[in-house]
Amino acid sequence: MDKLNKYLTISDKILILLIVVFSIIMIVYPFVTAYFNQSEDQEAYIYIKNRTKNIQRIPISDTYKEEPMKIEVEGPLGISIIEAHNGRVRLKEAPEEDPAKICEKTGWIDKPGPSIICVPNKISIWIERSDSELDAISW
């Protein structure tokens, strides 16, 4: 170490110190920010896409109420009624003209992954959250 000291100037030592401090700050910084943003990151959303490809985003935290949240979406066959309550969402009523009513039979979904699709009425509903335990899903 003494030998190394012979070659180092004061500016060298300052540079080394700066590099060490800078990298430690850079290493620690993401952990600190992740720690403080924890609560916000866990927010999940219900996504509803209609025939015009408009995507409606509803925070799941809004559905924790006494009364279920009702959303009406218009499709080519008529109006579908979507119900969201206590973190779950379902397609409650498909229009009469819908032949199979598969979307109604899908029932409640409450986590990212499954989705409610209504092909005749061109509606799809799914849930996304940023800290999902799944990286990707393929069918």
Partner 1 sequence: MRTRKIVIIALLVGLGLVLHLVENMIPLSFLIPGAKLGLANIANLLGLIIFGFTAGLQILLLRIFLGSILAGTFMTINFYLSLSGGLLGYLAMSLFFYFLRNKFSMIGISLSGAVFHNIGQIFTAYFIISNDAIFYYLPYLILLALPTGIGIGLVVIFTNNYLPREIKGIDI
* CB of 45 vs partner 1, minimal distance in Å: 22
Cβ proximity to partner 1: between 31 and 139 the closer is 31
Cβ proximity to partner 1: between 18 and 79 the closer is 18
Which residue, among 61, 58, 87, 88, has the nearest Cα to 73 in the 3D structure?
58
- Residue length of the chain: 139
Q: How many CB atoms lie within 10 A of CB 75?
A: 20
Which residue, among 117, 128, 126, 127, has the nearest Cα to 75 in the 3D structure?
117
Cβ proximity to partner 1: between 35 and 139 the closer is 35
Question: Would you give the binding string for partner 1 spanning residues 4-43, x where CB under 8 A is met?
Answer: x--xxx-xx--xx--xx-xxxxxx--x-------------
* CB of 102 vs partner 1, minimal distance in Å: 37
Which residue, among 65, 54, 62, 46, has the nearest Cα to 128 in the 3D structure?
46
Structural contact between residues 78 and 97, judged by C-beta atoms closer than 8 angstroms: yes
Cβ proximity to partner 1: between 27 and 136 the closer is 27
DSSP tag of 32: H
* # residues near partner 1 by CB under 8 A: 17
Q: Which residues here bind partner 1, judged by CB under 8 A? A: 4, 7-9, 11-12, 15-16, 19-20, 22-27, 30
